[in-house]
Every structure is written in structure tokens, then in C-alpha cells.
Structure 1
Amino acid sequence: MTKKRKISGLSGIELFQAHEALVKLKQSLVITEEDDGQDSEQSEDFARGLDELIFGMESRLNGPQAFGFSTATEVTLEKLGITLAGSLRLKPDNVLRVESSRLLGKGEFWSSEHMHRHLAVLGRLVPRRNEAGARIWIDVFLFRASAMVPSGKRMVINPEHPIPATRIHPSSLTTLSGYIDYTAIVAADSVADAYYHVPTIAMARQLNTGFFVAEAKTGPIDQHIPQVVCEMYASGKQLKKETLRGALTNGHEWIFIIVRFNSNDCGAAYKFTVPLGSHVSQPAEDLNPQTGPDIIAGVLSYWIQKSYVDLEDDDWVEEIEPNE
């Protein structure tokens, strides 16, 4: 009787040859729309199993790797199986929504009016030439967003949130880890209070309202998108979620990002907005609603509360269709 051998028992050359054979097998597979019912389901299950086997072999061939967030690049995303799936944009009909969002938290300390006054002071006081300066600006938007949550709920903001070494796939030894500049959750008062005292990933895993990731950078921020995507990917893996929302900002421009995890637990796809500005040099009543601080605060508050949810009909943003 032939004895079965585990992948871990294969020699280097045998593992390489087996990997090459499975890759060729995958390339030869064609699942067509004509496949229906049980045949189609079995074909998809086989393809997913094949992907996981190939992924496991590649992890053995490449050896264990430890990726840090701060050094992430487009190459890192490629190695993790994370792909860009398209773009997002603000919906064109947000003017009335901005006006109504300005009224949220009107009686709170961080009202829209106070936010504008505070930003005007920062414009004369704090330059945004480094990350420390950028964070002072970012804090204002997070504080304003916290005043916009519904009654009975509360936001908790956790700076420098550590993400432990996270295996990128169950069969992989490669890990992601590091610190996230900001995470934010919104939950019922009692639940938020529990998280406030123990702001850990394990506690966040129990929440239904989300775990929003935000990264602070200076200069042109689009070059830092791979870092934020890796932070969101590791967070989503830890939280066992299918969708996660986040943002990248220098305090003046904001890029909102959504990551959707692949169903086979291997890799993900992401989309992001063009940088949205928050110009503050004009009086609040004269600001363009599409670029002013109120729309940034509105999107931020909504996205923090919906950070586990895919885009919905009432979202602030929409996907750009490929043929547009």
C-alpha cells in the first residue's frame, strides 16, 4: 500500500515540481457559465481548494516572511494577493446631505461651527510639514465625527493601535504586523465603555459596528496607500470580517479606502477615492460642500459606523463603473 506524503515531507525539488504541475492544472481549468447546479459548485470548490494548495506550497518555497506596515509597497500587496479593483467617488447629490450633517451634534462641544473655528486657528498656528503636525489637524475631524453619532452610542478613538503578527493565510507562515495611527469604533454606550477600558483586537472582534483604520502621513499621500491597505488587511484577518473601511490622510486631504476579502481566505481587493480636500480658508457658509470640512466629517462619521459593511445605497460615495 502506497503511503501518503504531506507537503512538509517533500524535498525542495519535489515541492517545486508539484507546484509547477498544480499551476499548469489551474491554468487549464475553465469554469463556464454553461456549468450549472452541482457541477458548477463542485468546480468552484475544486478551484478554491487548488488555490489554497498552491498558496501553501508557495509559502513553503519562499520561506516564512514577516512584513511590517511601514515598509509596504505595491510589491507587498502583490505578494499578499491583494489587488486594486477600481475607484470610488463622492456622489454628486451630497449638497443637502452636507447641510443636514452640519446640524448633527449642534449642541455638542464639537459642533460644525466649533470645528470650523478650530481649523481656522490651526491654519495660523500649526503647519502640516510633518506627521506630528498632521495629527493635530486629523484629531479635529475625528472629534467632530464623534459628535455626530446617534444618541445612545459613543465613539472610542485609539491612537497607536498595535496589530499582532497576523498570518496572511491559514497555510502560510508569512505574517503582517505593526502599529496603526488611529482606530475608531462606534457602539452602544455600555459596549463602548467596555472597549474604552480594554481597546484590544479581541474586544473589537465582539463589536458589530466596525473597526475603522486611519493612517496619518505627510506630503503626497497616494504613495502610502499600500501601507494602509496592509493595515486594513491584517486588521480584517484578526477580526474575521469580509469588509473593512479605512482612510489615509495628511489632515488636509483624505483618501477613503474599502477592502473586500476573498471568500477563499486568501487575498483581497480594494478600492479608494481620489484625495478629497478640506479647504478651510473661507468662511464656513461659503465653503464648497464637495470639498469642505463638513463633507470630510460626514463621510468619516458614516464610514466609522459602517466599517464592517459594504457600500450601500445611502452611502456618501459610489463605485466608478469601468466604462465611465
Structure 2
Amino acid sequence: MPPKKRKISSLSGLELDLALAQVKKLRTSFIVEELPESDPAPDDTFTDLLDNTIAALESRANDPLSLPFSAADDAALSRFNIVSKGLLLLRPWAELRSAVVTSQALGSDQLWSNDAMYRHLTFLANSFTAKNGTSARMVIDTLFFRSTAMVPPPQKIIVVLENQVPAVQPRQSEPDTISGIVDYTAVVVDSKIAKAYIHRPPSIKKDLIGFFVAEAIDLEAHLPQALLELVACAKHLGRSHIRGALTTGFEWCFIIVDLDADSEGAKYWVSQVIVWMTEQSKTSSELIVEPTDKASDPALIAAILRHG
């Protein structure tokens, strides 16, 4: 069966841009010969068809773009003027090590103590494959569980899954919009407010102070989507500065986004990838997760999530 043809009207904005560029490139490769005036005018030529196609594509390309987060790519970042400003530098490991050691003692009397986190990650490492999103989410959940146990009362961390972000304009001067779902929204609130949030999860709106995490199979490929999510959340929160993370569960990178003062784009910084590691048990064939004095300790990630 031949592949189903798609109408121009069914193409997304980014697909239209790509199609238009390709058709224009094809059109420039043709040389049109001048015919003597005595020769009869030919019917529509292939170049005429190309010209008509270009005109139709240009007409559609001028329509506003409504882009879901999941369709984001580098072209979308360029279109919305979302620009990388380089590496997000974490504090030196000597300082981080001290902070991690301190964090390991927090919540020691809670269900999700530091030791409980290591035991659960050890269980996951020996029971589930790391090759799919399901196991990734279990790991992310574990690190969030641990972070909630480190927050002293009367504050609590409330984690909202798959929060819907309504449409927002990335650039104030353009009618294009972006929208979609954020995988994890973590907010630190007073315990009294936390009870209300558990029964009625908060939406992405002004005055909400949150930390946003996007789940991915491939960090690099998923980065444009995570950036659009953060830009949209910042717009709805009315904030010029926002923080978040992108993770496979095992690999983590942390992101800061600053909206431009003129509302015409954003700048972002991404940290180096942090990977928490398992070790081979010396007494069995199982993998284990134990405290270390290295940046591969998952306690570092949990501590960062705690502070947001």
C-alpha cells in the first residue's frame, strides 16, 4: 500500500518551514529556458507547479503556530529565541560533599531516610531494567521521596505529576503558542497549605514557587522540550527566573532559564550530567547502592531536589 499523502493544511508550523525550505531549494535547481515568441505557450510546467506550491506553503507558514511541548526541537528554540548561554556550574565538589554529608542525616527518623533511599535504589537496580520509562519514573519517584523527608516542619514538599500547562506565547510580539504537560512539579509549602494541595493539586499559576522536572529517554534529544516547559511555566508564574531538571532517572542535568526583559525570548544554562552509580557487591552477584564520597552518590541529587 502506498504511503498516505498529507495535505499542506495538516502540516505543523515547523514541518511547513522545513517543507518550504526544501521546495525552494529544489526550485532554484531548475533553469527556465526562454522560448521564442512564435512558439505556443506550454501548459503548466513542473516549475509552475513548484511556484504554486511555494506560494501555498508561504501562505500557510504565516499562520500562528500552536506547538505542544512534545513537538519541540532545535528549530522551535530558534523560532522562539531561546538561546543557550553555556554551562551551569555547580559548586566545587569539596563544598558539595559537605552539604551532602549534612543532608544524609536529615529525616533519619522518617520512612524515607537516607538509608531507605539506598536500599530502594539497590532493589530497583536488581529488579528492573533501565531501558524504559517505567523504571526511570520509579527512580525519579525514589529521589523525590527522599527529598520530601529532608524538609523540616512546618514545611513540606508536595509533588504533582503531569501538571497541565495552558497555552502561552513564548514571544510577546508573535501569536505562536506552546502548551503541554510537565512531568513533575515540586512545591515547598507550609504543612497547612500542603493538606489542601494534596486534595486539590495546584495548577501552574502566579505565586506558585516550584521546581520542574522532565523525564526523558535521551537527555540531549529531550532538552528542547524541557526548555519549552520551563519557559511556559515561567510565563504563567509571572517569573523571569526558573529552575528545573531533565533526567532519565539515572542521568540528571539541571537547568536555569531566564526570560528576556522584553518578553521576546529566553536564555538558559544547563549543568554537566550527573550520573548516580551502582557498584558490584563483593559478596554476591547483585548490584548495590551505597554512600560514597563522590558526585555519583544519589544523595547529591536528592539534596538538590530538596533545595529546588
The amino acid of 1:63's aligned partner reads: D
2:65 maps to 65
Matches within 5 A, 1:1-324: 62-92=62-92, 93=94, 94-201=96-203, 204-207=205-208, 210-218=209-217, 220-281=218-279, 287-303=292-308
On the 8 A contact 1:289/1:295 being kept in 2, the answer is no
**Identity %, equivalent residues:** 34
Q: Which moved more, 1:86-95 or 1:118-127?
A: 86-95
On the 8 A contact 1:145/1:300 being kept in 2, the answer is yes
Q: Which has the larger radius of gyration?
A: 2
On the 8 A contact 2:291/2:297 being kept in 1, the answer is no
Please give the per-residue CA displacement for 1:152-183, whole angstroms capped at 9, x wherever unaligned: 00111111111111122344321101111111
Q: Aligned partners of 1:286, 1:256: CA distance in 2, in Å?
A: 22
Q: Aligned partners of 1:268, 1:195: CA distance in 2, in Å?
A: 30
Q: Aligned partners of 1:206, 1:240: CA distance in 2, in Å?
A: 8
5+ long unaligned stretches in structure 1: 1-59, 304-324
Please give the per-residue CA displacement for 1:249-274, whole angstroms capped at 9, x wherever unaligned: 11101010010111112211000111
SS at match of 2:89: strand
Q: Aligned partners of 1:111, 1:192: CA distance in 2, in Å?
A: 21
Q: Aligned partners of 2:244, 2:207: CA distance in 1, in Å?
A: 19
Task: Give how far 1:223 is off.
Answer: 2.0
The amino acid of 2:216's aligned partner reads: K
TM-score (norm 2): 0.74
Q: Aligned partners of 2:129, 2:302: CA distance in 1, in Å?
A: 21
Q: Aligned partners of 1:108, 1:289: CA distance in 2, in Å?
A: 25
Q: Aligned partners of 2:160, 2:265: CA distance in 1, in Å?
A: 27
5+ long unaligned stretches in structure 2: 1-59, 281-287
TM-score (norm 1): 0.70
Q: CA RMSD in A?
A: 1.8
On the 8 A contact 1:120/1:281 being kept in 2, the answer is no
Q: Aligned partners of 2:171, 2:191: CA distance in 1, in Å?
A: 35
Q: Aligned partners of 1:127, 1:95: CA distance in 2, in Å?
A: 29
The amino acid of 1:224's aligned partner reads: H
User: Which segments of structure 1 move beyond 6 Å, counting only runs of 4 or more?
Assistant: none
Q: How many residues align?
A: 240
Q: Aligned partners of 1:161, 1:150: CA distance in 2, in Å?
A: 25
The amino acid of 1:250's aligned partner reads: T
